[in-house]
């Protein structure tokens, strides 16, 4: 008599298991989103990578995860870049003289 397979190991279509990997661009986006608060241009890269990761995850058919990481990378990247830009504009004279 065969052993029953746990429900968590069975995918509904065909009964085979699928390895789900976290998207690397989503991880990089989150890390750069956090770094953007110290180095604001990193926020632009976080925004680009997060957007790319979200598209890849949505198109993977469930083979990739990390949508939340990508979204938070986008959000933190935008906040870090905008905050950095505001600081540079506000302190323009200090950086570049009058």
Residue 36 inside a domain? The answer is yes
C-alpha span between 90 and 71 (Å, rounded): 28
pLDDT at 95: 74
C-alpha span between 11 and 94 (Å, rounded): 60
Structural domain boundaries enclosing 58: 22-96
More confident residue, 69 or 14: 69
Residue 88 inside a domain? The answer is yes
Residue 3 inside a domain? The answer is no
pLDDT at 93: 82
Residue 90 inside a domain? The answer is yes
Name the strand (E) or helix (H) holding 64. strand 64-65
Q: State the pTM of this model.
A: 0.75
| pLDDT tens digits, one per residue of 30-42 | 999 999 999 989 9
pLDDT at 30: 97
Burial status of residue 2 (CB atoms within 10 A of its CB: 0-12, 13-18, 19 or more): exposed
Cα 47 to Cα 50, 76, 91, distances in angstroms: 5, 8, 25
Residue 11 inside a domain? The answer is no
Name the strand (E) or helix (H) holding 65. strand 64-65
How many separate domains does the chain show? 1
pLDDT at 40: 87
| pLDDT tens digits, one per residue of 44-98 | 999 999 999 999 999 998 899 999 999 999 999 999 999 999 988 888 888 787 6
Residue 17 inside a domain? The answer is no
């Amino acid at each position: 008599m065969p052993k029953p397979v746990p429900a968590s190991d069975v995918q509904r279509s065909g009964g085979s298991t699928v390895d789900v990997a976290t998207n690397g661009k989503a991880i990089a986006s989150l890390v750069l989103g956090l770094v953007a608060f110290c180095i604001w241009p990193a926020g632009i890269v976080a925004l680009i990578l997060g957007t790319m990761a979200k598209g890849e995850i949505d198109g993977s058919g469930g083979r990739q995860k990390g949508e939340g990481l990508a979204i938070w990378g986008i959000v933190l990247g935008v906040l870090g870049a905008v905050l950095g830009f505001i600081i540079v504009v506000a302190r323009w004279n200090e950086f570049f003289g009058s």
